[in-house]
Amino acid sequence: MSERIPVKDVTPVKVHQPDGSDQSIRYSSSNRIYVRSVSGPLESFRRYFGFIFLGLFAVLPWLSYNGQQAVLFDLNEQRFNLFALTLWPQDLTLLAYIFIVAAFALFFVTTFAGRVWCGFMCPQTTWTYIFVWIEQKTEGSRHQRMALDQRSLDADKFFRKALKHVAWVVVALLTALTFVGYFTPISALFVNFFTFSSGFWTTTWVIFFAACTYGNAGWMREIMCTHICPYARFQSVMFDKDTLTVAYDVNRGERRGPRPRKIPHSELADKGLGDCIDCNLCVQVCPTGIDIRNGLQYECINCGACIDACNGVMEKMNYPKGLIRFSSEAQMQGGETKILRPKLIGYAFVMVVMLGILIANFLLRSALEVDIIRDRNSLYRETNDGLIENVYTLKILNKSQQRQQYEIAVDGLPDYRFIGEQTVTVNGGEIFSIPVSIATDAYNLTDPVTEIHFHVSTQTADGELISVREPTNFLYR
């Protein structure tokens, strides 16, 4: 029993420990974060990328297709219009496949490049930056906003604060109206809302989403990312040592500290200094208020603001850029980043398979659906002519957006008599119900239950033949 089990010290050690001064309190996540504006390639890319998606969000509900709103998720009519495509509750599996593909695409991107979704595409991030931009235009730069909040209320402070909140409310209201416009005709929505003639539920939803936008982007901001959004909590499951994240090069940056600009970069090592001048700009520009020099943290949204800020400082100091950069744990430890790895390949494989299934379902999807409902009052009845008659109700769903004429026929029953309309016209997106009766002589029936088929067919304007063959039973005895 003289052998001892070796014990490894795994106590986490941070690169930079706060000194307990006012600076650490100022940058604490429990206090308000005053985000400093930053410029650089990543910031420009994020803005343009956000403008594209913001423009799509604002424009799509205003587009028209075939005389109707091109994108409309009509919950009352239980149909979704996506330009030439109309989806019904029967197409719910398509929606499930879309969500599965989107989920695995998110997993794939996260495994490869970390939380770039949060930093560049998330609506919370996009609207937060819009609200911060409004705050900067009305209240000034970071230091001006901090000084303004410390001042007692006067006319200038009241005017700036009021102007900011009015602008926030306007943006939040337009956002809510646009979002609700995806679920109800948007042109009528704007007119009815501003003329106080919209319905109760429509008004309620607009006010609800406006309040959510105002609260999330104006007040909660980083709290949504750090405490409420579940993605920040389970993202670490998808990370590995080859995942690209925003990282601080410890070996190059330490020992940090201020120094005059005249010291050449080649002499820093002789003086025991690293490249980091401890300017704290990387902290000031971070929308979640973290210090990336403390290592990877779940609050980091990979927006790259600290990279642009640090590169700007390095350029002014005539130091090489990249002290903070997108890199992997393996690369930071002196190795190489492996792009192709089992986890990434697995996510890509599942995403491609599900995308193939989704495309196949779209291509095989029929623009016609038929349901047959038997008369529940009686199994069959005998007519005055001595024929056996069964009564059905045909529900014809025209999934296209054009008016179609359908022909109805029956097979599987000899010498039958069709009672009802055999040619019907159904408008686009309409469910048409038609009662029909099928009668035949009892001598033609050898079994109590005979399987028959209703044929419903049409020919589109493009010459395409669409036909549905739906089985049902003809009962006797």
110: in domain? no
Position 421 in a domain? yes
Lowest-confidence pick of 9-18, 85-94, 103-112, 182-191: 9-18
280 neighbors 23 (Cβ within 8 angstroms): yes
pTM summary value: 0.81
DSSP lists the bridge partners of residue 465 as 459
Provide the pLDDT confidence category of residue 5 given band limits of 50, 70 and 90: low
Q: Model confidence over 50-103: pLDDT tens digits?
A: 899 999 999 999 999 888 899 999 888 888 888 888 888 878 888 889 999 999
Cis peptide before 293 (omega within 30 of 0): no
Name the residue among 417, 416, 474, 415 with its Cα closest to residue 450: 474
Classify residue 2: in a domain, yes or no.
no
Task: Give per-residue pLDDT as tens, 213-271.
Answer: 999 999 999 888 888 888 877 877 888 899 999 999 999 999 999 998 888 888 898 88
Mean residue pLDDT across the chain:
88
The model's pLDDT over 292-318, given as tens digits with 9 standing for 90+, comes to 999 888 889 999 999 999 999 999 999
Q: Is 323 part of a structural domain of the chain?
A: no
Q: Which amino acid is at 142?
A: R
Q: Is residue 305 part of a domain?
A: no
In a domain, residue 441? The reply is: yes
- The structure tokens listed for 367 are 């623009």
Structural domain contains residue 169: yes
334 in any annotated domain: no
- Rounded Cα distance between 213 and 179, Å, is 11
The number of distinct structural domains making up the chain is 2
Per-residue pLDDT tens over the stretch 323-352: 999 999 999 988 899 988 999 999 999 999
**pLDDT of 19:** 44
Residues whose CB falls within 8 Å of the CB of residue 246, separated by 6 or more in sequence, listed in order: 114, 292, 300, 302, 304, 306, 307, 324, 325, 326
> In the listed set 169, 187, 220, which residue is the last one of a domain according to the structure?
220
Higher pLDDT, 152 or 232: 152
Residue 418's domain comprises 368-475
Contact 415, 463 (CB under 8 A): no
* 101-119 pLDDT, tens digit each: 999 999 999 999 998 999 9
Instruction: Tell which of 160, 193, 220 closes a domain.
Output: 220
- Residue 177, pLDDT above cutoff 90: yes
Predicted local confidence at residue 29, as pLDDT:
41
Write phi, then psi, for 80 (nearest 5 degrees). -115, 120
220, 240, 272 - which closes a domain: 220
CATH no. for residue 468?
Answer: 2.60.40.10
